[in-house]
A and B are shown apart, each in its own frame.
Chain A
Amino acid sequence: MSKAVSAIAEVEKFEPIEDIGGAAQPLLHVNGLTKHFPVRGTGLFGGAKTVRAVDDVSFSIAKGETLGIVGESGCGKSTTARLLMHLMPTTAGEIIFDARQVGRELSLRELRRGMQMVFQDSYASLNPRLTIEESIAFGPKVHGMSDASARALARELLGKVGLRPENFAHRYPHEVSGGQRQRVNIARALALSPRLVILDESVSALDKSVEAQVLNLLADLKREFGLTYLFISHDLNVVRYISDRVLVMYLGEVVELGPVDDVWDQPAHPYTRALLAAMPSSDPDRRTEVPPITGDPPNPIDPPAGCRFHPRCPFAEALCSQAKPKLSPIGDSGHQAACFMAIPGSGHSRAP
Chain B
Amino acid sequence: MSNLVDIRDLNVRFTGERTVYAINDLNLSLGQGEVLGLLGESGSGKSVTLRALMRLLPKKRTAITGSIRVAGQDVLALDDEALSTFRGQTVSMIFQEPALALDPVYTIGDQIAESVMRHEGKSKREAMARALEMLEVVRIPSAKRRLDAYPHEMSGGMRQRAMIALALACKPKILLADEPTTALDATVQIQILLLLRELQREFGMSVIFVTHDIGVAIEICDRVAVMYAGQTIEQGSLRDIVREPQHPYAQGLLASTVHGAKRGARLETIPGAPPSLDAKPVACSFAPRCAHAQPRCSAGLPPEVALGPDRMARCILAEPAAAVG
Contact = CB atoms under 8 A, between A and B. Distances in A.
Contacts of B189: 278, 280
Contacts of A177: 273
Contacts of B191: 291, 294
Contacts of B273: 177, 179, 210
B269 A209 contact: yes
Contact of B186 (A216, A260, A275): A275
Nearest to B189: A278
Contacts of B238: 284
Contacts of A29: none
A282 B215 contact: yes
A280 B267 contact: no
B215 A72 contact: no
B18 to A, nearest CB: 14
Contacts of B264: 219
Interface string B260-272: 1101101111100
Contacts of A212: 256-258, 267-269
Given A209-B252, A284-B239, A288-B194, A241 B218 contact: no
A301 interface: no
A265 interface: no
A290 B195 CA distance: 10
Size category, B interface: 35 or more
A285 B239 CA distance: 8
Contacts, number: 123
Contacts of A285: 239
Interface in A297-322: 297, 299
Contacts of B242: 284
A333 interface: no
Interface residues of A, number: 47
Given A72-B186, A280-B216, A281-B218, A296 B155 contact: yes
Interface string A14-40: 000000000000000000000000000
25 contacts: A208-B41, A208-B212, A208-B214, A208-B257, A209-B41, A210-B41, A212-B257, A216-B266, A234-B185, A237-B258, A241-B267, A278-B187, A279-B186, A280-B190, A281-B219, A282-B260, A284-B239, A284-B243, A287-B219, A288-B194, A288-B219, A289-B194, A291-B190, A291-B194, A297-B185
